[in-house]
Amino acid sequence: MLDKAIRKIVIVGGGTAGWMTAAPLALKLGASCEIVLVESPEIGTVGVGESTLPTIRYYNHALGIDGADFVRRTKATFKLGIDFRDWGHIGNRFFHGFSDFGPSIENRPAFMYWLRLARDNPDMPSYEEWSISTAMAHAIKFVPPHGDQPGPTNAYSYAFQFDAGLYALYLREYATARGVQRIEGTVGDVEQHPETGFITAVKLRDGRRIEGDLFVDCTGFRGLLIEGVYKAGYEDWSAMLPCNSAQAVPSALADQLTPYTRSTAKPAGWQWRIPLQHRNGNGHVYCDAFMSDEEAGRVLLAGVDTEPLEAPRQLRFTTGRRRKSWIKNCVAVGLSSGFLEPLESTSINIIELAVGWLIQYFPDRDCSPELAEEFNRLAAQRYEFVRDFIVLHYKLTNRTDSEFWRYCANMAIPDTLQHQIDLFRTSGRITIYDREGFQADSYASMMLGHGIRPERTDPLIDRMDQARLLDHFHKVHATIRQVVGTMPDHAALVAQITGEPIRKL
């Protein structure tokens, strides 16, 4: 069997995807396989990607990375979720936290009980008052959740916001210490086997030639191997996710270090603010068919609430996915496999998953087509699940103040997503096709945040003792307030971990 084993892996690209692929492969394969990573000094990385999902913690943990060291080295802050502003209608504000509404009651998500109580109790506090992550976000406090038994005071999860460049460097150090060979150079040509079509080597512009058995394409949007060599094709989802441009600019730190990412809807898209230890990351994502780049730049700077540290950088993208991410002996990971705009910070999560699938379905030198097919099926499914959740944000809008929002309200969406919206509108139920990703609480957060109140509540909850339910809610609410009151400020906790006070640049 070992005579068929992969002896050498060549990773082309040294952005977040390249190093996130190299590190776990080095850990898993050790000295049994040579791993080379080629990165181009001339072609830069995309240079954005600072906000993550909680799964990044599992990725880091699997590598044995020390949490405190990671926070120090990547200038990370903690993230409880996303603060949505002006989505749905101007002046609207709601929080999408990770695992938000507390533990389920009798196998039904907690928000369903809130819906029932709110129906007959006009004075009922907002559903957000039942969410500990929202309470922590509003109070700008953070501690990691404690204990194993889910209760109202630990029913939250968290992710990180970090400097993507520092994270790639951190993983580079990790991977090279475990034997990954780093080569600086630009791939100019690719050699293929005349009969099988497998890639046999990449040739650098300076004449060097790097042979390999398996090639991982981490070259970003260009997809040098997967598209350049194999013409995998691209499924373009711009009709339902029209944003195709972004401008990004770092700015000085604000007075308060918020444990969340902020997303503010704008006339032709939305703007992010991501607080790190040393600066804020800001960006305006928009559709250039509805707003010029000049205007988008003005909107960005008007929405940056601290002093910009450099001129904004322009980015372009097409939302969609590569029709196949694994062809023959080439596997695309990262932007080369597809891109969904960063509204829910999902790209790094898809990299984590793709690397996990590559390890799970690790091939021999013949790269069995069944393994590739399974990888491609998982990738397609994942991109579609995430796509639907992001489309939901736009489709639910009540904004009519610009052509962009009118387009979003009227655009065609997948039937599965329309079914989810209709199910919630009529009966307050949520069905989740994506078992591993965004759960019922996330969908509920988005629907409730956009002001949807179902026509009907759950008939089984209707039959329960309402006074007892109300009493339960008030107790949970009081406990959350009391517990959050005792938590440290987010900035104080970060300073305690890093050993340095948070300083403005």
Contact positions toward ligand FAD, by CB under 6 A? 12-18, 38-40, 43, 45-46, 48-52, 164, 186-187, 218-220, 222, 224, 246, 283, 315, 317, 334-336, 342, 345, 347-348
Structure token pair of residue 414: 């997948």
Nearer of residues 48 and 118 to ligand FAD, judged by Cβ = 48
Using N-to-C axis directions, what is the helix angle for 466-485 and 132-139, rounded to 10°? 30
Nearer of residues 153 and 280 to ligand FAD, judged by Cβ = 280
442 closest CA partner among 503, 478, 401, 389: 389
Distance in Å from the first CA to the final CA of the chain: 56
- Which candidate in 4, 8, 79, 328 is catalytic? 79
CB of 164 vs ligand FAD, minimal distance in Å: 6
CB of 491 vs ligand FAD, minimal distance in Å: 21
Nearer of residues 57 and 116 to ligand FAD, judged by Cβ = 57
Using N-to-C axis directions, what is the helix angle for 369-395 and 347-360, rounded to 10°? 160
Q: Report the distance separating Cα 129 and Cα 282, nearest Å.
A: 28
Nearer of residues 187 and 447 to ligand FAD, judged by Cβ = 187
Q: Which residue has the tokens 């181009």?
A: 40
DSSP reduced 3-state for 91: coil
Say if residues 260 and 78 touch (Cβ distance below 8 Å). Answer: no
Residue 487, CA atoms < 13 Å, CB-side half-sphere: 28
Say if residues 257 and 494 touch (Cβ distance below 8 Å). Answer: yes
Nearer of residues 349 and 420 to ligand FAD, judged by Cβ = 349
Nearer of residues 235 and 364 to ligand FAD, judged by Cβ = 235
384 closest CA partner among 438, 308, 328, 327: 438
CB of 247 vs ligand FAD, minimal distance in Å: 9
Q: Report the distance separating Cα 98 and Cα 353, nearest Å.
A: 18
Nearer of residues 169 and 409 to ligand FAD, judged by Cβ = 169
CB of 351 vs ligand FAD, minimal distance in Å: 6
Q: Report the distance separating Cα 69 and Cα 246, nearest Å.
A: 31
CB of 49 vs ligand FAD, minimal distance in Å: 3
How many residues are present in the chain?
A: 505
CB of 341 vs ligand FAD, minimal distance in Å: 7
Is 79 an annotated catalytic residue? yes
Q: Report the distance separating Cα 447 and Cα 435, nearest Å.
A: 19
Say if residues 264 and 86 touch (Cβ distance below 8 Å). Answer: yes
**What secondary structure does DSSP assign to 177-204, as a single string?**
HTTPEEEE--EEEEEE-TTT--EEEEEE
* Distances in whole angstroms, Cα of residue 459 to Cα of each of 109, 115, 428, 502: 14, 12, 11, 51
CB of 218 vs ligand FAD, minimal distance in Å: 5
Q: Which residues are catalytic?
A: 79
